[in-house]
Structure formats: structure tokens, C-alpha cells
């Protein structure tokens, strides 16, 4: 797109802005994904290495059944709630930062 | 006149419950009425594709959930939990949690980029109309895999309501009605209908099971009636169990992880061995292969959710990125609550209706959701029919909404991409609208035809396969294109094609081999694939990798994308920084408009 490289002084188009933007967003996403994956990928391992523990009865359910069939959903809601809060906050901070730089 | 007398003959032939017919008929009629009503108000082509992009968070969240909760969720999960036990629980959990991945990595950037469909994104991100053509194929591949189980749901439900109706008749009837609805209403009608149908499904899955639990004992009590391998007797004995039939899995394998679903391949291999080698082989391989199966399934379902074309298209119907995120939050709550219930049907069904284990195809465990509430009739008469009528209405809502959603996105791909962009770029709005209607009828017809073949396959399993294909094609494409600047069109296309086609082939081979074992007509039709099962009996690992291809196909796609992109790094789009800004910078900064102007100037329009 040779025609119009927009005003180079605009901080939005600097390499450092894009890099920090992507880095901060990815950090947040990866942190939330890690919390989720530990639970998701950990459960089969727990079933594999500690079958007796996971077969403990809780109100008729086996522990493993209770975790997977019921408890898992609220855990995921909490993770996604945290992510949405933080990512909306992140966007607002980015907009403020750009506006300040444009003024200053 | 001919059809009316045919229907009357079916109704007269006995075994038809008036309540069930009434509830199902009301669901169908209301769905159709809403579709026709919307047809009057949706006029422009943009209305047909993404509902003019103005759908509120509440409506959109209900509509996404309504579309997502398919026949697999409504009927298939319950059937699979009943037939396979604990391992089948991964399906509802990952169906719900896959949304988190979509939210974390893909939903926001894709919404900011603003394109109608995934092929739009593929073209825009790499400035390549060729790539659009490649990407469009997968909308259709994934879509057809996903429509097959919906069609089976339709066949099973109608065969349950009208016991004398053959399976295929239900498929043809329901497929025809929905195709007509989509051809006349488009997406705008669908959003309304989908949202409405979420609430039908939620009501239909929860109310009957609470009544059944009140009469026959709770969720925990019925699991407690199954003893584990470390127990001598079941801990909870207050629920009455019917004696298990011959084909039912034993308590201790059913209630524990690594049960019949994930150990099928190893067990089949053991059966083919000399008796003295079996014990050693099973001890060595059974659990570890089962773990591999579980992980591959998890990858397919979690990554696959993030790559489902008919779900992604809905993110564009939100007014802005913040609303898209709030929508996803609500979707996860709505579907999470829903997914607690289907396994309960499976658990209670095992203890109360074990005779279904012996049934085949439309008469097997896949119909437990419809059959279980009828037990109430033994004690409370007509209430049982009413409750069964409600779950039938829910099943109708399930396959009708998902099938229409799929039909819209597949028709969109064919009309908007193949016709509007590739075949006739100069076509008028009116011609495009006609192309939309024609495509809807064409795709609906193919889906019905495919649906007639799949009676012996489990509903839930087939949906899992559609997820595996999406996980190996669209997920790597979207994930890598959003987060990695070095991606080139050639890299993206190679990875997506290799991963997606491998998964597609693996899924097809698995299904053909399963069909060849069917004792009915399908077994004869596909008898040529019997040899596959003998081969797998000596190579259980290969069978698992073929049945659940995600664990190798997803990494394969990503690795190929990286390697080919590195090799063709001179082809990275020259304005990639601007594209990345549009994908990641907050919408308030207005980069999108800037990008469009710049892009059009550059292309010389």
C-alpha cells in the first residue's frame, strides 16, 4: 500500500505500540488459558494416577464425576468473567495511553 | 391429498401419543411462523447474511446458545453417557468450555477485523481471493459432518413419535421443512427463532428430569447405585434398578474413567489375541491408550469449538467488540447450565430403562431423552405423556435450530462466496438473493441424503468428528493468523488443507468401518470396509488415532503453517502491521475506517 503511509508521528502506528499491545493481550489470554488448561488436562492425569482417590464417594457421585459433570462449569465462568473484566480494562487503558500521547 | 392420507394412515397405525404429537407440532408451527414473519421484514442481502449487524447481547447470546445446542447436546450426550458412562462426560464439558478458548484468543480480534464470514477473514488477512476459495471448502466439509447427526436426531425423534414411520421419512420431512424456512427467512428470521428455541430446549431438558428425579430418585443416588471397582456393593441402595441387559457395560467400567468408549480399540484387539496373552496386553495398554484417546478428544472439542463456522458468523451480529465479549460470557453461562442436565438422563436411563442397550439405530440409547419421561405414566398417567411431549418438542427445537443455523452459514458460503465472489462478481442484489435461495435448497437436499445413511452411528460421536475437522483446519488458521505476523497465505493454506483433510479422511474411514458392521441394510451397503476393522484389531493405536485424529492433526497443521510461512517469508502481506493493528487495537481508536480507506486507495478502486 504505497499510496498513503499515515502520519508517521501518530503513536498508534509505531512498532512499539503494536508490539506492546499484542504482548499485553497475549499475556492476559495465556494466563487465563493456563488456569483453564491445568484443570482440564490435569483431571485425566488425576484419574490415571490416583484412581482410588477420584473414586471417593461424595453424595453418591464419585469425586471425578462430580468435578467433571458439575463443578467444572462454574470454574470456567469465573475464568471468563475475570478475562472479560481485565480485557475491557486493558482496552480502556490503551485508548487513554494513545490519547495522552497524541496530546503530548 | 396424497400426503394427508399417508399421514393419517401413519397416525392411525397405533402407538401414537396425542400429547407428544401436539407438543411437537406446536414447536414446528411456531418455528415456521416466526420464519415466515421474518421473511416479510428482511429485504436486503445484508439482512440475509448477518441480520443487518444489529442484534442485542441478550438476543444474540440466546441465539448462539440455541444454535449451538444441537441434537448432539439434547439427545446424543444422554445416549452416550448411558452407553459409555463417565468418559462421555468430556463431551458436554468440552462443548461448553471450548467457548473459553474462542473468547480468549479469537472472538475479540476477529470482531474488530470485521468480515462477514471466515472466508472473508481469510481473504482480508492475506489479500488473497484464492485463499478464500480454499477456506470456503471447509465451511461445507464441517457443515455436512455436522448436519448428519442433526438429521439422525430428526429421524430418531419422528420414529419415536410415529413408531410405524421409517427412519428416513423423518429425515426427509424435517430436512425439507427447515430448508424451506431458511430459503424464505434468511438469518434475520433465524436469530429470532434460535433465541426462542434456546429457551424451549432449556425448559424441555430441565423440567421433565426434575419430575423424573422427584419420583425415581436423584442424580447422585442413581450414580451411587453403580458400584466401583474398589467397592463390594453399591453405596446407595434406595433406588430401584431394573436388571441390566446383556449388552450393558458393567458398573465398575461404566462409572469410572477409561471405560468402554476409550478402551474400545484395545478391547477389540485383545479379543483377537490368543487367550493367554490377553491379560498382559490389557494391563499394559488399556489405560495408557485410553488416556491418549481422552486427550485427543479434549483437543478436538476445545479447539473445534473455536473453529465452528456457524458459531463464528454470529459474533459479527454484535454491534461492537465489547458486546461480543459480553455475549460470549452469557453464552457460556447459558450453555453451561444446560449441559448439567443431559448426563442425568443417561444415568437414570441406565438404571430405569436398561432394555435400550439392546436396541439398534433409532431404537437404541440415543432416544433415552424422549423415552425416560414416559416412565412417569406408570404412576401418574397422562403426566408422563405430557413430559415426553415436552422433551420431544425440545428435540425438535434442537435439530431444527442447529440445522437451520448450519444451513444459513453453508448457504452463505455458497451464495456469498462461491456465487457472489467467484462465479459472478458483477451480479445484482436480486440475483444474489435468488442464488441464496437456490443454494439453500441444494445444500438442504444433500444434507438429507447424507442423513439417511447414518442411522447406525451415534449422534454425539458424529458431532465430535465435525469438531475434530474444525480443530485441525479453522482453529489453526484463525489462531495463527491473529497472533503471528509472519504467517503467509501459502503457509496458512498448506497447514489448513493438510490438517483439515487428514482429519476429514480419518473421520470418514472410521464411519465407513463402523457402518460395515451394522446388521441392517447399511452393513450390506458398506461391507467393503469390513477389512478395516480386522486391520485395527491388530493395530489398536492406529484405530484410536483414526477415531480421534485431533492429537496429531492439530499440531501437524500448526507445524506446517510455521514451516511453509518461514520458507515463503517474502510473501508476508506488506501492510501486515496495519492488519495487526486493526485486529488488536481497541475499536475506539477508529483504525478500521482508516484501514478500509487506505486499502481501497491501494487497490485503486
Write the pLDDT tens digit of every residue in B475-491. 999 999 999 989 999 99
The residue ranking higher by pLDDT, B306 or B466, is B466
User: What's the pLDDT at B415?
Assistant: 82
* B456 vs A: CB within 8 A: no
pLDDT higher than 90, residue B57: no
User: What's the pLDDT at B601?
Assistant: 59
User: What's the pLDDT at B327?
Assistant: 82
pLDDT higher than 60, residue B127: yes
pLDDT bin (cut points 50, 70, 90) of residue A34 is very high
Give bridge partners of residue A62 from the DSSP assignment.
Answer: A57
pLDDT higher than 50, residue B141: yes
Residue B197 grid coordinates: 428455541
pLDDT bin (cut points 50, 70, 90) of residue B599 is low
From the list B270, B347, B286, B382, the residue with the least C-alpha distance to B78 is B347
Q: Which class for B190: exposed (0-12), middle (13-18), buried (19 or more C-beta within 10 A)?
A: buried
The residue ranking higher by pLDDT, B235 or B375, is B375
pLDDT bin (cut points 50, 70, 90) of residue B42 is low
Set of chain A residues whose Cβ sits within 8 Å of the Cβ of B96: 73, 76
Q: How many CB atoms lie within 10 A of CB B573?
A: 18
User: What's the pLDDT at B559?
Assistant: 96
The residue ranking higher by pLDDT, A67 or B189, is A67
Q: Provide the shortest C-alpha distance from residue A39 to chain B (in Å).
A: 11
- In this structure, are strands A57-58 and A61-62 parallel, antiparallel, or unpaired? antiparallel
User: What's the pLDDT at B313?
Assistant: 66
Residue B283 grid coordinates: 494391563
User: What's the pLDDT at B484?
Assistant: 92
From the list B416, B431, B402, the residue with the least C-alpha distance to B135 is B416
User: What's the pLDDT at B43?
Assistant: 53
Q: Which of A8-22, A65-79, B397-411 has the highest mean pLDDT?
A: A65-79
DSSP codes, B225-254 = TS--TT-SS-S---S--PPP-TTSPPHHHH
User: What's the pLDDT at B185?
Assistant: 66
pLDDT higher than 60, residue B186: no
Backbone angles phi, psi at A58, to 5 degrees: -130, 105
User: What's the pLDDT at A4?
Assistant: 45
pLDDT higher than 80, residue B597: no
Chain B residue at shortest CA distance from A98: B589
Minimal Cβ distance to B223: which of A48, A60, A88: A60
* B103 vs A: CB within 8 A: yes
CA dihedral B229, B231, B232, B234 (to 10 degrees): -100
pLDDT higher than 80, residue B45: no
Residue B487 grid coordinates: 504467517
Residues spanned by the domain of B402:
15-597
Give the count of domains, chain B.
Answer: 1
pLDDT higher than 60, residue B53: no
Chain A residue at shortest CA distance from B333: A77
Q: Has residue B8 been placed in a domain?
A: no
Q: Has residue B6 been placed in a domain?
A: no
CB within 8 A of B257, min separation 6: which ones?
A44, A47, A48, A51, A54, A64, B86, B87, B290, B294
Angle between helices B90-101 and B275-305 (to 10 degrees): 30
CB within 8 A of B235, min separation 6: which ones?
A57, A60, B224, B227
Listed range (B28-42, B76-90, B228-242, B387-401) with the worst mean pLDDT? B28-42
Q: Has residue B58 been placed in a domain?
A: yes
**Region B517-540 average pLDDT:** 83
Give bridge partners of residue A57 from the DSSP assignment.
Answer: A62
B:237-256 residues touching chain A, CB 8 A cutoff: 255-256
pLDDT higher than 60, residue B515: yes
Minimal Cβ distance to B103: which of A52, A65, A83: A83
From the list B60, B335, B329, the residue with the least C-alpha distance to A81 is B329
A39 φ/ψ sector (left φ>0, alpha ψ -120 to 50, else beta): alpha
pLDDT bin (cut points 50, 70, 90) of residue A94 is confident
Minimal Cβ distance to A26: which of B258, B328, B483: B483
Per the listing, cell 471448502 goes with: B137
The residue count of chain A comes to: 104
Indicate the domain borders of chain A: 32-103
Give per-residue pLDDT as tens, B529-588.
Answer: 888 888 888 888 898 999 999 999 999 999 999 999 999 989 888 888 888 888 888 877
User: What's the pLDDT at B470?
Assistant: 93
pLDDT higher than 80, residue B37: no
Minimal Cβ distance to A76: which of B230, B336, B578: B336
**Region B313-342 average pLDDT:** 80
Q: Has residue B602 been placed in a domain?
A: no
Q: How far apart are CA B574 and CA B564, in angstroms?
A: 18
Residue B331 grid coordinates: 453464552
B:323-382 residues touching chain A, CB 8 A cutoff: 325-326, 328-329, 332-333, 336-337, 339-340, 343
A:53-92 residues touching chain B, CB 8 A cutoff: 54-55, 57, 59-62, 64-65, 68-70, 72-74, 76-77, 79-81, 83-84, 87-88, 91-92
Q: Provide the shortest C-alpha distance from residue A104 to chain B (in Å).
A: 17
The residue ranking higher by pLDDT, A90 or A7, is A90
User: What's the pLDDT at B583?
Assistant: 86
From the list B65, B25, B59, the residue with the least C-alpha distance to B173 is B25
pLDDT higher than 80, residue B66: yes
Q: Which helix (H) or strand (E) holds A57?
A: strand A57-58
* A34 vs B: CB within 8 A: no
Give per-residue pLDDT as tens, B149-158.
Answer: 989 888 888 8
pLDDT higher than 60, residue B49: no
User: What's the pLDDT at B236?
Assistant: 74
User: What's the pLDDT at B96?
Assistant: 87
Minimal Cβ distance to A68: which of B89, B105, B291: B89
A:13-32 residues touching chain B, CB 8 A cutoff: 13, 15, 18, 21-22, 25-26, 29, 32
pLDDT higher than 80, residue B321: no
Give per-residue pLDDT as tens, B274-315.
Answer: 888 888 888 888 888 899 999 999 999 999 988 887 677 666
Long-range contacts of B294-297 (CB under 8 A, 24+ apart): B294/A44, B294/B87, B294/B90, B294/B257, B294/B258, B294/B262, B295/A41, B295/A44, B295/B551, B296/B544, B296/B545, B296/B548, B296/B549, B296/B550, B296/B551, B297/B90, B297/B91, B297/B94, B297/B262, B297/B464, B297/B548, B297/B550
How close are the terminal C-alpha atoms of chain A, in Å?
29
Give bridge partners of residue B201 from the DSSP assignment.
Answer: none
pLDDT higher than 90, residue B21: no
**Angle, CA B474 vertex, CA B470 and CA B475 arms, to 5°:** 85
Q: Is A60 within 8 Å of B222 when comparing Cβ atoms?
A: yes
* B219 vs A: CB within 8 A: yes
Q: Is B601 within 8 Å of A4 when comparing Cβ atoms?
A: yes
pLDDT bin (cut points 50, 70, 90) of residue A3 is very low
CA dihedral B108, B112, B115, B117 (to 10 degrees): 0
Q: What is the CATH number of the domain that holds B200?
A: 1.20.1730.10
User: What's the pLDDT at B227?
Assistant: 83
CB within 8 A of B258, min separation 6: which ones?
A47, A48, B87, B286, B287, B290, B291, B294
**Region B35-47 average pLDDT:** 59
pLDDT more than 70, % of chain B: 88
Q: Which class for A39: exposed (0-12), middle (13-18), buried (19 or more C-beta within 10 A)?
A: middle
From the list B24, B517, B409, the residue with the least C-alpha distance to B191 is B409
The secondary structure of B318-337, three-state, reads CCCHHHHHHHHHHHHHHHHH
Q: Has residue B9 been placed in a domain?
A: no
CB within 8 A of A11, min separation 6: which ones?
A17, A98, A101, A102
Chain A residue at shortest CA distance from B591: A12
What is the residue-averaged pLDDT of chain B?
83
Q: Has residue B432 been placed in a domain?
A: yes
Amino acid at each position: 500500500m504505497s499510496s498513503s503511509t499515515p502520519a508517521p508521528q501518530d503513536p498508534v502506528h509505531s512498532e512499539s505500540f503494536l508490539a506492546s499491545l499484542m504482548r499485553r493481550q497475549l499475556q492476559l489470554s495465556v494466563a487465563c488459558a493456563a488456569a483453564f488448561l491445568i484443570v482440564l488436562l490435569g483431571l485425566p492425569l488425576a484419574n490415571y494416577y490416583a484412581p482410588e482417590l477420584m473414586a471417593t464417594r461424595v453424595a453418591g457421585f464419585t469425586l471425578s464425576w462430580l468435578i467433571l459433570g458439575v463443578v467444572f462449569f462454574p470454574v470456567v465462568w469465573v475464568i471468563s468473567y475475570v478475562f472479560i473484566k481485565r480485557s475491557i480494562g486493558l482496552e480502556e487503558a490503551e485508548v487513554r495511553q494513545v490519547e495522552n500521547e497524541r496530546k503530548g | 391429498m396424497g400426503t394427508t392420507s399417508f399421514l393419517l394412515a401413519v397416525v392411525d397405525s397405533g402407538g401414537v401419543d396425542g400429547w407428544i404429537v401436539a407438543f411437537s407440532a406446536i414447536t414446528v408451527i411456531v418455528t415456521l411462523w416466526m420464519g415466515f414473519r421474518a421473511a416479510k421484514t428482511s429485504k436486503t442481502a445484508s439482512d440475509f447474511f448477518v441480520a443487518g449487524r444489529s442484534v442485542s447481547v441478550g438476543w444474540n447470546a440466546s441465539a448462539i446458545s440455541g444454535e449451538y445446542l444441537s441434537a448432539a447436546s439434547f439427545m446424543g450426550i444422554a445416549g452416550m453417557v448411558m452407553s459409555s458412562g463417565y468418559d462421555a462426560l468430556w463431551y458436554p464439558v468440552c462443548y461448553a468450555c471450548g467457548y473459553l478458548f474462542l473468547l480468549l484468543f479469537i472472538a475479540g480480534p476477529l470482531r474488530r477485523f470485521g468480515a462477514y464470514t471466515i472466508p472473508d477473514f481469510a481473504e482480508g488477512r492475506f489479500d488473497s481471493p484464492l485463499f478464500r476459495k480454499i477456506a470456503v471448502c471447509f465451511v461445507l466439509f464441517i457443515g455436512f459432518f455436522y448436519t448428519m447427526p442433526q438429521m439422525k436426531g430428526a429421524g430418531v425423534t419422528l420414529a419415536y413419535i410415529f413408531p410405524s414411520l421409517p427412519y428416513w421419512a423423518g429425515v426427509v420431512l424435517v430436512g425439507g421443512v427447515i430448508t424451506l424456512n431458511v430459503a424464505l427467512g434468511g438469518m434475520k428470521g433465524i436469530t429470532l427463532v434460535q433465541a426462542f428455541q434456546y429457551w424451549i430446549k432449556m425448559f424441555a431438558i430441565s423440567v421433565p428430569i426434575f419430575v423424573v428425579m422427584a419420583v425415581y430418585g436423584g442424580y447422585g443416588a442413581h450414580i451411587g447405585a453403580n458400584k466401583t471397582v474398589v467397592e463390594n456393593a453399591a453405596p446407595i441402595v434406595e433406588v430401584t434398578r431394573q436388571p441390566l441387559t446383556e449388552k450393558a457395560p458393567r458398573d465398575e467400567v461404566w462409572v469410572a474413567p477409561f471405560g468402554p468408549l476409550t478402551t474400545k480399540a484395545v478391547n477389540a484387539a485383545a479379543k483377537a489375541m490368543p487367550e493367554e496373552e490377553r491379560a498382559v496386553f490389557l494391563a499394559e495398554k488399556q489405560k495408557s491408550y485410553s488416556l491418549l484417546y481422552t486427550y485427543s478428544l479434549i483437543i478436538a472439542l476445545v479447539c473445534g469449538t473455536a473453529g465452528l463456522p456457524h458459531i463464528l458468523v454470529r459474533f459479527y451480529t454484535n454491534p461492537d467488540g465489547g458486546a461480543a465479549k459480553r455475549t460470549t460470557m452469557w453464552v457460556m453461562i447459558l450453555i453451561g447450565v444446560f449441559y448439567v442436565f443431559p448426563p442425568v438422563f443417561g444415568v437414570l436411563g441406565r438404571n430405569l430403562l436398561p432394555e435400550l442397550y439392546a436396541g439398534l439405530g433409532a431404537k437404541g440409547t440415543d432416544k433415552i431423552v424422549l423415552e425416560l419421561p414416559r416412565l412417569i405414566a406408570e404412576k401418574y398417567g397422562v403426566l408422563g405423556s405430557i413430559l415426553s411431549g415436552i422433551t420431544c418438542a425440545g428435540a425438535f427445537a434442537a435439530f431444527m435450530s442447529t440445522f437451520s443455523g448450519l444451513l444459513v452459514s453453508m448457504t452463505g458460503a455458497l451464495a456469498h462466496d462461491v456465487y457472489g465472489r467467484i462465479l459472478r462478481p458483477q451480479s445484482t442484489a436480486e440475483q444474489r438473493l435468488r442464488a441464496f435461495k437456490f443454494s439453500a435448497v441444494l445444500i438442504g437436499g444433500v444434507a438429507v441424503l447424507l442423513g439417511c445413511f447414518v442411522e447406525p452411528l451415534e449422534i454425539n460421536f458424529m458431532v465430535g468428528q465435525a469438531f475434530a475437522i474444525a480443530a485441525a483446519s479453522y482453529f489453526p488458521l484463525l489462531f495463527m493468523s491473529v497472533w503471528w505476523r509472519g504467517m503467509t497465505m501459502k503457509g496458512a493454506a498448506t497447514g489448513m488443507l493438510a490438517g483439515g483433510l487428514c482429519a476429514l479422511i480419518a473421520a470418514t474411514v472410521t464411519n465407513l468401518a463402523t457402518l460395515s458392521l451394522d446388521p441392517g441394510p447399511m452393513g450390506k451397503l458398506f461391507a467393503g470396509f469390513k477389512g478395516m476393522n480386522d486391520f485395527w484389531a491388530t493395530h489398536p493405536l492406529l484405530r484410536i488415532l483414526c477415531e480421534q485424529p485431533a492429537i496429531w492433526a492439530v499440531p501437524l497443521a500448526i507445524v506446517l503453517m510455521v514451516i511453509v510461512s518461514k520458507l515463503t517469508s517474502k510473501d508476508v502481506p506488506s501492510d501486515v502491521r496495519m492488519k495487526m493493528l486493526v485486529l488488536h487495537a481497541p475499536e475506539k481508536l477508529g483504525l478500521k475506517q482508516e484501514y478500509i480507506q487506505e486499502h481501497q486507495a491501494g487497490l485503486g478502486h
